[in-house]
């Protein structure tokens, strides 16, 4: 699972190329949730899908996957994953992240989460309202 | 061709004069050539009470080498007893006095009726390094000074850990071990540091057990104490840093001492709650320092290489690169030590090399690819390779030239947080 900064459209009105690519190549094979960095929604989604790894590009969310015991990695700068060396570094870091689960398992076992059990039983989009206009 | 050791990370056995200095009012008397003490007094913080490099010394010269220096030693001891007000006098030999075969044991024995105790440890540099010299000083005290106790005191525990003064954190670490033992309801007994000294040495034989927290240094001492005073010992190879290892430490000591399991678990729970309060608050910092690779290297003695590797893997979630042990750990201990590096959580194992030569170690590091800026924890010798590899660098073991360590500690729950502070204070300087 990845959490990314999302632009609906660029300034030139084009759709970001990776979104366009996914739309064309695998329209039914990826799920997207767009939220205004609503932490409770991200945690609900993580809890529902229990991904093997969570990759975050946006500061401040990595720790929340960690608090739910999910292996997570803060990518910060996606350009670091480009090129031959960048791709291999990225792969190595993913491997190191999923092989050593100490940090998230230790922390998750000893803290309480700030959201209610009730919330985790709801659909993550339960509070989304259709635009009334 | 003689082998040249580049960048020494230990001293010769005579460096054990630092062990003597860490016992309040114990005085080294050197039967060595002039200059030994000066060369060996490189660390910060001696005894404070005595001059760190000016000791009674026979200043062996050519004449003594030809005709023997025993009479000179006898004079020096006799005069030291008159001039210097100490509680314990420890005669240490250097290379030259050992090579010419002076019978120092005999000279020292002739002072057995002196007002103050005088003991002798053979610490010639060609016999070993200061890690072994430390053991030999303790051995001398056990063999030549200690008397059997008329009673054993329940709950009294002698704690033995690292080599005082050579390990910059020896004081804080030892006192934090005392603190942990006290939490369990036991009474710690240590001989080094503030308000310890001879009165605590006298209590060694009455302890219920000896606790050795060290991969190998001191093992021969606790075995000797068992043989001489029938005191059992508990050997824990890993210096506990951070929550995982400290909780394990408390369980193991509690188990050995027969302390109620529920009591031990309550102590652990309380400590871990507090520890994770801080981890939770600062987790962002550890997770989002984008410039830090998950890979780390420790270049240190067996104690820190093992303890820091365990902490960074089992608590912090980092991944070990090859680790280096630079204390010249004797062959008979190396297999066991390698084994400890295979007992990391999540079936992680760390490769480990017993290598003292800085040049060889640093060449290997330069050849290693870390997938990002690595973390190198070692001594001041490693500053240069850290610069060359753009690493984050922290010095923790001798020689430490750019930090002042007074009484801080890496042991225990608080010690783990302190090590995180030190590491991330370095990491944060990269762009700040």
Residue A27 has pLDDT above 80, yes or no: no
Does the beta carbon of A102 lie under 8 angstroms from any beta carbon of chain B? yes
Q: Which long-range contacts (CB under 8 A, 24 or more apart) does A64-67 make?
A: A64/A39, A65/A104, A66/A103, A66/A104, A66/A107, A66/A108, A66/B283, A66/B287, A67/A104, A67/A107, A67/A108, A67/A111, A67/A113, A67/B280, A67/B283
Contacts of A92 in chain B (CB under 8 A): 371
Does the beta carbon of A100 lie under 8 angstroms from any beta carbon of chain B? yes
- Distance (Å, whole) CA B80 – CA B56: 7
Asked if A59's CB is within 8 angstroms of B288's CB, the reply is yes
Asked if B243's CB is within 8 angstroms of A89's CB, the reply is no
Residue B330 C-alpha, separation from nearest chain A C-alpha, in angstroms: 31
Which residues, at least 6 apart from B366, have a Cβ–Cβ distance to it below 8 Å?
A: B385, B388, B389
Half-sphere exposure of B262 (CA within 13 A, CB side): 0
Among B89, B116, B144, the domain-final residue is B144
Does the beta carbon of A107 lie under 8 angstroms from any beta carbon of chain B? yes
CA dihedral B123, B129, B134, B140 (to 10 degrees): -30
pLDDT under 50 in chain B at which residues?
none
Residue A91 C-alpha, separation from nearest chain B C-alpha, in angstroms: 9
Clarify whether residues B411 and B288 are in a common domain: yes
Clarify whether residues B286 and B411 are in a common domain: yes
Clarify whether residues B246 and B296 are in a common domain: no
Domain count within chain B: 3
Range of the domain at B247: 156-256
Clarify whether residues B134 and B162 are in a common domain: no
Clarify whether residues B233 and B304 are in a common domain: no
Q: What's the pLDDT score for residue A18?
A: 80
Query: How many other C-beta atoms can be found within 10 angstroms of the C-beta atom of residue B400?
Result: 19
Q: What's the pLDDT score for residue B322?
A: 97
Select from A66, A75, A76 the Cβ nearest to the Cβ of B283: A66
Clarify whether residues B285 and B422 are in a common domain: yes
Does B104 reside within a domain? yes
Task: Provide the residue ranges of all domains of chain A, joining segments of one domain with +.
Answer: 2-121
Q: What's the pLDDT score for residue A37?
A: 72
> Do residues B174 and B192 lie in contact, with contact meaning Cβ atoms separated by under 8 Å?
yes
pLDDT tens, position by position, A41-66: 999 999 999 999 999 888 888 999 99
Asked if B243's CB is within 8 angstroms of A106's CB, the reply is yes
- B292-300 and B233-236 beta bridge pairing: unpaired
Q: What's the pLDDT score for residue B1?
A: 59
Nearest CA in chain B to A78: B290
Residue B268 C-alpha, separation from nearest chain A C-alpha, in angstroms: 12
Clarify whether residues B391 and B293 are in a common domain: yes
Contacts of A106 in chain B (CB under 8 A): 243-244, 276, 279, 315
Which residues, at least 6 apart from A107, have a Cβ–Cβ distance to it below 8 Å?
A: A66, A67, B276, B279, B280, B283
Clarify whether residues B248 and B318 are in a common domain: no
Select from B273, B284, B313 the Cβ nearest to the Cβ of A100: B313
- Distance (Å, whole) CA B41 – CA B53: 6
pLDDT tens, position by position, A104-121: 999 999 999 999 999 999
Clarify whether residues B133 and B163 are in a common domain: no
Clarify whether residues B136 and B169 are in a common domain: no
Does the beta carbon of A106 lie under 8 angstroms from any beta carbon of chain B? yes
Residue A110 C-alpha, separation from nearest chain B C-alpha, in angstroms: 7
Backbone angles phi, psi at B242, to 5 degrees: 85, 180
Among B89, B110, B144, the domain-final residue is B144
Residue A112 C-alpha, separation from nearest chain B C-alpha, in angstroms: 10
Give the H/E segment covering residue B188. strand B187-189
pTM for this structure?
0.95
Asked if B276's CB is within 8 angstroms of A111's CB, the reply is yes
Asked if B371's CB is within 8 angstroms of A101's CB, the reply is no
| Angle, in degrees to the nearest 10, between helices B412-427 and B302-314 | 80
Kindly report the CATH number assigned to the domain that includes residue B99.
3.40.50.1980
Does B8 reside within a domain? no
Select from B279, B288, B317 the Cβ nearest to the Cβ of A100: B317
């Amino acid at each position: 699972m990845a959490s990314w900064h999302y632009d609906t459209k660029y300034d030139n009105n084009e759709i970001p190329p990776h979104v366009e690519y996914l739309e064309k190549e695998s329209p039914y094979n990826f799920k997207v949730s767009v939220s205004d960095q609503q932490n409770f929604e991200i945690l609900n989604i993580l809890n529902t899908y229990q991904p093997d790894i969570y990759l975050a590009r946006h500061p401040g969310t990595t720790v929340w996957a960690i608090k739910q015991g999910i292996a997570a990695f803060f990518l910060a700068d996606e350009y670091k994953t480009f090129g031959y060396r960048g791709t291999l570094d990225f792969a190595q870091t993913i491997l190191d992240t999923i092989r050593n689960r100490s940090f998230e398992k230790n922390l998750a076992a000893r803290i309480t989460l700030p959201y209610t059990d009730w919330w985790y039983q709801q659909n993550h989009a339960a509070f989304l309202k259709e635009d009334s206009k | 061709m003689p082998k040249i050791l580049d960048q020494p990370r230990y001293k010769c056995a005579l460096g054990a004069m630092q062990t003597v200095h860490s016992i309040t009012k114990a005085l080294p008397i050197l039967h060595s050539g002039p200059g030994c003490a000066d060369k060996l007094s490189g660390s910060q913080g001696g005894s404070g009470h005595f001059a760190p490099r000016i000791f009674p010394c026979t200043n062996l010269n050519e004449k003594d080498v030809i005709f023997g220096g025993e009479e000179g030693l006898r004079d020096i001891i006799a005069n030291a007893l008159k001039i210097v007000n100490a509680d314990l006098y420890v005669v240490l030999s250097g290379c030259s006095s050992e090579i010419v075969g002076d019978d120092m044991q005999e000279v020292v024995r002739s002072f057995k009726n002196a007002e103050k105790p005088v003991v002798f440890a053979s610490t010639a540099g060609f016999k070993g390094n200061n890690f072994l010299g430390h053991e030999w000083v303790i051995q001398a005290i056990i063999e030549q000074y200690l008397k059997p106790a008329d009673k054993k005191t329940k709950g009294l525990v002698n704690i033995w850990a690292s080599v005082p003064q050579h390990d910059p954190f020896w004081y804080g670490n030892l006192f934090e071990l005392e603190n942990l033992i006290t939490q369990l309801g036991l009474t710690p007994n240590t001989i080094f540091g503030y308000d310890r000294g001879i009165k605590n040495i006298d209590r060694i034989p009455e302890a219920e057990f000896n606790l050795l927290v060290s991969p190998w240094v001191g093992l021969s001492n606790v075995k000797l104490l068992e043989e001489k005073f029938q005191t059992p010992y508990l050997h824990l190879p890993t210096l506990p840093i951070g929550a995982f290892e400290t909780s394990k430490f408390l369980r193991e000591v509690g188990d050995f001492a027969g302390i109620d399991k529920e009591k031990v678990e309550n102590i652990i729970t309380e400590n871990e709650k507090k520890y994770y309060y801080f981890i939770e608050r600062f987790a962002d910092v550890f997770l989002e320092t984008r410039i830090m690779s998950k890979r780390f290297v420790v270049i240190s003695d067996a104690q820190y290489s093992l303890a820091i590797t365990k902490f960074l893997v089992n608590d912090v979630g980092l991944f070990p690169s090859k680790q280096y042990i630079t204390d010249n750990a004797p062959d008979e201990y190396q297999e066991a030590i390698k084994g400890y590096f295979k007992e990391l959580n999540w079936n992680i194992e760390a490769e480990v090399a017993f290598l003292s030569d800085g040049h060889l170690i640093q060449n290997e590091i330069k050849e290693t690819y870390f997938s990002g800026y690595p973390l190198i924890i070692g001594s001041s010798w490693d500053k240069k390779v850290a610069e060359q590899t753009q690493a984050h660098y922290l010095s923790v073991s001798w020689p430490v030239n750019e930090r002042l360590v007074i009484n801080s500690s890496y042991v225990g729950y608080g010690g783990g947080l302190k090590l995180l502070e030190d590491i991330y204070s370095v990491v944060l300087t990269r762009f700040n």
